[in-house]
Amino acid sequence: MTFNQEHSIPFWRDDRFWKIALQVIAVVVVAAFASLLLYNLNINMQRAGLKFGFDFLDNQASFDILDSVAPYSAIDETYKSVFPYSPTDNYARVLQAGLVNSLLIMVSGIILTTIVGIIIGVFQFSDNWLLRKGSELYIEVVRNTPLLLQLFFWYSAVFSQLPRPKERLDFFGALYLSKRGIFMPWPATNPLLWFSLGLIIVGVAGGIWLWFWRTNLIVEKGQSGQTQLWGLWAIALTLIVVILFGLGWAFPHELTLDPSQFDARDTERFAACVAETYQVENLSNPTSEANLALYSKCLWTGNFEYGLRLSLEFAALLVGLVIYTAAFIAEIVRAGIQSVAQGQWEAARALGLHSDSTMRLVVFPQALRVIIPPLNSQYQNLAKNSSLGAAIAYAELYNVANTTYNQSGRPIDVMLIIALTYLSINMVISLTMNAFNRAVQLKER
Amino acid sequence: MIATPPPSTGPIAPPPEIRDTSLNWIKKNLLTPWYNALITLAIAGLAGLVLNNFLRWAINLDGDPNKAQWNVIPANLAIFAVGRYPDEQYWRLWIALGIVAILAGLSWGVVARSVKLFSRNVLIGLAIAACICFLIPVPISPWRLLSVTMLGLVAGSAWLGQQLGRKVPQLGQYTSFAWLGSFLIYLWLLGGNLGLEPVRTGEWGGIMLTVFLAIISILLCFPIGVTMALGRQSELPVVRWFSVAYIEVIRGIPLIAILFMGQVIVPLFLPEGMRPDRVLRAVVGLTLFSSAYLAENVRGGLQSIPRGQEEAAQALGLNAPLTVSLVVLPQALKAVIPAIVGQFISLFQDTTLLSIVGLEELLGMSRSILANPNFIGRYAEVYLFVGVLYWFFCYAMSSGSRYVEKRLNTEHR
């Protein structure tokens, strides 16, 4: 192609011209559209008397939100939210409380749904017909009904129908369910707790390192790895002992019902309750028969101390999200395992690996490559779907932000806060999972 | 737990099936090895317990207030179906449903033109559907007749479609255009004006609104989604950045926040005096949301097309727009039909979120029914019924798409 011929092409048929022109057109169109919208926004906001800016975050919020996860605090003698908030705090504080509630749901939801999803996914390869069909039925039912409907069902038809505190359900004295919430065991705050937690982290990290070292020894050097196996067992045993006894588990303790077992503190509390409920200042003999009948309201059936209190909203949202997302994860796990060619199983058997080593060393690492990318988007879905907690009165970020908008009349600012927060949460999930993905991808040359 | 590898899906034919006696089958699938017997026992026990409790609750012949009271369903059937649509205008909805039935039958007949139309399974299905239509506990008897007539229309036009399809094989393309064209007729029938009494969108509701929202959103999101997918794959950096920014921002925000934006913020961006109604604002939110997801699905299809296709088209002298529209896009879209159907199903489920921003689609309608003092506390009954409805729609869509996919996908094999 000579210089002359190149110039004889009219510019509208020149690829290079269009490449630049199209980009200019795209910029102009987007800029014009954006400035039109901003112009309208400016006019509309001026007329409605709305302002833009984040100074409103310092104003008093004056609305209350329900506690979600509240461990028992021995100092305050009550269940205290993990992120204390009172209506006198400002909007920034209430939005932070909403964020904490959202993160609580996301983290516990992702952990639980992974466990449940993998189990259900593996069930689909079981020899047991009932187990296989049961898990298929579960997946079909859950995936074909809307999440919001499932959340309403869990909240209104299951958790809100729990009995009144007086008839609370009791599971082995460790777990109590009633309208007042769910009471479960939880490590009590003590100086040993931090030491034990540190020990657990060190133990887990050491165990993982030992595990990889052992696999490496077996695969690369053909050693038996027996010594390392003993090390792993020792670490596991130590961890179990530390978890059971080092954390200082406190079981929810139902306040005593029998006046003959009242100690001094119980009597004092009983008197205080009576004084508050019946406006009686002086109670001569609070535990006499007649008084007890009269003051039956102050017998603390279904009232607890110690342990951890979960609100019904938290429980319903967690159960709903975990059950919904687990169905999708189960399908991902199934597809991942099925993607490993039959020959890989047979080759592993031919090498003399038995079934758990086949799974661990041959099939699972290959399945993981197929599993992780869709798992990433499921985790992000769970994080985004946690905003549906707003529909069942769970005080998560969207819910709190919506109330903030209604009170402060700052639609744009609140929307920006919501969008940026969820975008950054999803980015953190995505970056973590991508790093994990790179670690397990096939390394070629 | 994993004792056997998954069944191979390769070209090797499976070994001949050995006929088992039922006793052997039970022994093999439920009882061996020993832990399977324990698992079977545990599951059977649990399922039995749950089923027993459920049946005890669900079957309530003596009017026990602690058990299920199903009267909330038949009493509100019309509201579940069409919301607060005025009674005297129901005939318009029946006509719209009739057109849908005829078109559905025609398309079915055309797609299945080469096979026996009324096989045994289809006949059984039709008979069951007819029985259900006839037994629906509606107070007004013409409804039963009308719903059976709809089934008759489907069957009749399916037969007609098959006959026509055999004579005119190109009919398949015309049916898709007929579907698009009929949409305007539905809009007119539903909304009124132009000679019909107008019905405000505030009076639309129930299944009707759910289906309407899902269909109009998927139709609108299609052009945006395909454009964004092409933009993301484009070699022009500015176009790519804009597309990536749009897709990633929308995908990073929860749908409920986008719907909130549609309800509250979109009116702020519009010129003075322009305030679109609630249904339209909801459609804007849903469309924005699902176009970003559709773009990602279509991008998957675009990436699956080998580069040689594009190069071959260029070698033939096609310019960039023609290469995309004649060579790349048709193949890419065909490859992602299952993903698009999956997305349609999730969009159908996502319309439930509109109940949070105050629209009375199926879930929102059932919440209003539950707020009625006559039916207070009937949560489990209503939610189970609505759940069955959603399940039925979604399951029908996914199995229907699998069927069509198998019929259309004749060339690869």
Interface contact B47, partner A, CB < 8 A = yes
Distances in Å between the alpha carbon of B359 and those of A156, B78, B306, B354?
20, 17, 45, 5
**Of A2-16, B185-199, B282-296, where does mean pLDDT reach its minimum?**
A2-16
Interface contact B58, partner A, CB < 8 A = no
**Of A72-76, A110-114, A144-148, A290-294, where does mean pLDDT reach its minimum?**
A290-294
> Is residue A334 within 8 Å of A138, Cβ to Cβ?
no
Multiple choice CATH, B210-407, 1.10.10.10, 3.40.50.150, 1.10.3720.10, 3.10.20.30: 1.10.3720.10
- Closest residue to B253, CB basis, from A345, A359, A423: A423
User: Strand, helix or coil at B193?
Assistant: strand
Res. B411: pLDDT tops 60: no
B349: nearest CA in chain A? A146
**Tokens representing A413?**
């600012």
> Whose CA is closest to B379, among B395, B366, B391?
B366
Interface contact B379, partner A, CB < 8 A = yes
Q: Which range among B16-25, B136-145, B356-365 has the greatest average pLDDT?
A: B356-365
Interface contact B271, partner A, CB < 8 A = yes
- Closest residue to A342, CB basis, from B5, B43, B252: B5
What would you measure as the largest C-alpha separation in chain B, in angstroms? 79
Confidence of residue B412 (pLDDT cuts 50, 70, 90): very low
Interface contact B253, partner A, CB < 8 A = yes
- Closest residue to A127, CB basis, from B36, B267, B395: B36
A290, part of any domain: yes
Helices (H) then strands (E): counts for chain B: 19, 0
Residues listed for chain B: 413
Q: Are B268 and A411 inside 8 Å of each other by CB?
A: yes
Residue with more model confidence, B142 or A151? A151
Q: What is the pLDDT of residue B413?
A: 39
Residue carrying the six token digits 């920006």: A416
> Whose CA is closest to B31, among A131, A138, A434, A426?
A131
Question: Best interface-test mutation with B: which of A41, A149, A153 has the largest number of B CBs within 10 A?
Answer: A149
DSSP character at residue B361: B
Q: What is the pLDDT of residue A276?
A: 67
Q: What is the pLDDT of residue B141?
A: 66
A11, part of any domain: yes
Q: What is the pLDDT of residue B226?
A: 93
Residue A71, beta-bridge partner list: A308
CA distance A126 to B2: 6
Show the 3-state SS of chain A: CCHHHHHHCCHHHCHHHHHHHHHHHHHHHHHHHHHHHHHHHHHHHHHHCCCCCCHHHHCECCCCCCCCEEEEECCCCEECCCCCCCCCCEHHHHHHHHHHHHHHHHHHHHHHHHHHHHHHHHHCCCCCHHHHHHHHHHHHHHHCCCHHHHHHHHHHHHHHHCCCHHHCEEECCCEEEECCEEEECEECCCHHHHHHHHHHHHHHHHHHHHHHHHHHHHHHHCCCCHHHHHHHHHHHHHHHHHHHHHCCEECCEECCCCHHHCCHHHHHHHHHHHHHHHCCCCCCCCCCHHHHHHCHHHCCCCCEECCEEECHHHHHHHHHHHHHHHHHHHHHHHHHHHHCCHHHHHHHHHCCCCHHHHHHHHHHHHHHHHHHHHHHHHHHHHHHHHHHHHHHCCCCHHHHHHHHHHHHCCHHHHHHHHHHHHHHHHHHHHHHHHHHHHHHCCCCC
> Is residue B213 within 8 Å of B286, Cβ to Cβ?
yes
Q: How far does the CA of residue A335 sit from the closest CA of chain B (Å)?
A: 10
Q: Are B6 and A338 inside 8 Å of each other by CB?
A: yes
B275: nearest CA in chain A? A44
Question: Best interface-test mutation with B: which of A115, A131, A417 has the largest number of B CBs within 10 A?
Answer: A131
Please write the tens of the pLDDT for every residue from B313-327.
989 988 888 898 999
Q: How far does the CA of residue A149 sit from the closest CA of chain B (Å)?
A: 7
Q: What is the pLDDT of residue A95?
A: 92
Interface contact B365, partner A, CB < 8 A = no
A345-374: average pLDDT? 85
Q: ipTM of this model?
A: 0.85
A292, part of any domain: yes
Q: Are B356 and A390 inside 8 Å of each other by CB?
A: yes
- Domain count across chain A: 2
Interface contact B239, partner A, CB < 8 A = yes
What is the percentage of chain B residues whose pLDDT exceeds 90? 21
- Closest residue to B254, CB basis, from A47, A146, A387: A387
A36, part of any domain: yes
Residue with more model confidence, B376 or A315? A315
Q: What is the pLDDT of residue A207?
A: 93
A92-99: average pLDDT? 92
Res. B337: pLDDT tops 80: yes
Res. A93: pLDDT tops 70: yes
Res. A338: pLDDT tops 80: yes
Residue with more model confidence, A236 or B114? A236
Q: What is the pLDDT of residue B6?
A: 57
> Whose CA is closest to B77, among B152, B147, B154, B150?
B147
Q: What is the pLDDT of residue A312?
A: 92
Helix axes A312-339, A364-385, angle to 10 degrees: 150
User: Cα-flanking dihedrals φ and ψ of residue A269, to 5°?
Assistant: -65, -40
**Tokens representing B309?**
């296709």
Give one DSSP letter per residue of B131-148, joined into a string: HHHHH---S-HHHHHHHH
**Tokens representing B220?**
């609108």
Q: Which range among A191-195, A289-293, B53-57 has the greatest average pLDDT?
A: B53-57
Res. A308: pLDDT tops 90: no
CA distance B67 to B56: 8
Interface contact B214, partner A, CB < 8 A = no
Please write the tens of the pLDDT for every residue from B124-158.
888 888 888 777 766 666 777 788 888 888 888 88
> Whose CA is closest to A129, among B364, B53, B31?
B31
Q: Are A140 and B395 inside 8 Å of each other by CB?
A: yes
Find all residues with CB under 8 Å of B245, minimum gap 6, and list them: none
A17, part of any domain: yes
Residue B206, beta-bridge partner list: B361
Res. A2: pLDDT tops 60: no
- Label residues A290-304 b or e (16+ Cβ within 10 Å = b): ebeeebeebbbebbb
What is the percentage of chain A residues whose pLDDT exceeds 70? 88
Give one DSSP letter per residue of B13-49, joined into a string: PPPPPPP--HHHHHIIIIISSHHHHHHHHHHHHHHHH
Q: Are A152 and B320 inside 8 Å of each other by CB?
A: no
- Average pLDDT across chain A, whole number: 84
Helix axes A129-143, B379-408, angle to 10 degrees: 100
Interface contact B352, partner A, CB < 8 A = yes
A344: nearest CA in chain B? B5
Question: Best interface-test mutation with A: which of B28, B41, B69, B269 has the largest number of A CBs within 10 A?
Answer: B269
* Residues of the domain holding A42: 3-49
Q: What is the pLDDT of residue A43?
A: 87
Q: What is the pLDDT of residue A298?
A: 62
- Closest residue to A129, CB basis, from B29, B237, B352: B29
B158-170: average pLDDT? 82
Confidence of residue A256 (pLDDT cuts 50, 70, 90): low
Confidence of residue A394 (pLDDT cuts 50, 70, 90): very high
Q: Are A127 and B3 inside 8 Å of each other by CB?
A: yes
- Closest residue to B39, CB basis, from A27, A45, A128: A128
Cβ atoms within 10 A of the Cβ of A260, count? 6
> Is residue A328 within 8 Å of A378, Cβ to Cβ?
yes
Interface contact B252, partner A, CB < 8 A = yes
Confidence of residue B1 (pLDDT cuts 50, 70, 90): very low
Residues listed for chain A: 445
B164-183: average pLDDT? 81
- Average pLDDT across chain B, whole number: 83
Q: Are A129 and B30 inside 8 Å of each other by CB?
A: yes
A64, part of any domain: no
Q: Are B252 and A427 inside 8 Å of each other by CB?
A: yes
Please write the tens of the pLDDT for every residue from A397-431.
999 999 998 888 888 888 899 999 999 999 999 99
Find all residues with CB under 8 Å of B186, minimum gap 6, and list them: B96, B99, B100, B212
Q: What is the pLDDT of residue A289?
A: 63
Residue with more model confidence, A325 or A14? A325
Bond preceding residue A10 cis, omega within 30 of 0 = no
Q: What is the pLDDT of residue B143?
A: 75
User: Strand, helix or coil at B271?
Assistant: coil
Structural domain ending residue among the three candidates A283, A299, A315: A299
Cα angle B136-B137-B139, degrees, rounded to a multiple of 5: 120
Structural domain ending residue among the three candidates A246, A277, A299: A299
Q: Are A149 and B320 inside 8 Å of each other by CB?
A: no
Cβ atoms within 10 A of the Cβ of A311, count? 23
Interface contact B195, partner A, CB < 8 A = no
User: Residue ranges per domain, chain B?
Assistant: 85-199, 210-407
Distances in Å between the alpha carbon of A376 and those of A108, A382, B9?
16, 10, 27
CA distance B161 to B115: 13
Q: What is the pLDDT of residue A29?
A: 93
> Is residue B282 within 8 Å of B357, Cβ to Cβ?
yes
B373-401: average pLDDT? 88
**Tokens representing B30?**
């439920």
Q: How far does the CA of residue A2 sit from the closest CA of chain B (Å)?
A: 20
CA distance A403 to A409: 10
> Whose CA is closest to A371, among A430, A437, A311?
A437
Res. A36: pLDDT tops 80: yes
- Closest residue to A128, CB basis, from B36, B265, B320: B36
Sheet architecture: strand order including A169-171: A78-79, A69-73, A308-310, A181-184, A175-178, A169-171
**Of A66-75, A283-292, B367-376, where does mean pLDDT reach its minimum?**
A283-292
Please write the tens of the pLDDT for every residue from B227-269.
999 999 888 889 999 999 999 999 999 999 999 888 888 888 8
A122 contact residues in B (CB cutoff 8 A): 1-2
Structural domain ending residue among the three candidates A279, A299, A319: A299
Find all residues with CB under 8 Å of A395, minimum gap 6, and list them: A65, A66, A68, A97, A98, A101, A313, A389
- Closest residue to B238, CB basis, from A26, A405, A415: A26
CA distance A290 to A301: 19
Q: How far does the CA of residue A374 sit from the closest CA of chain B (Å)?
A: 13
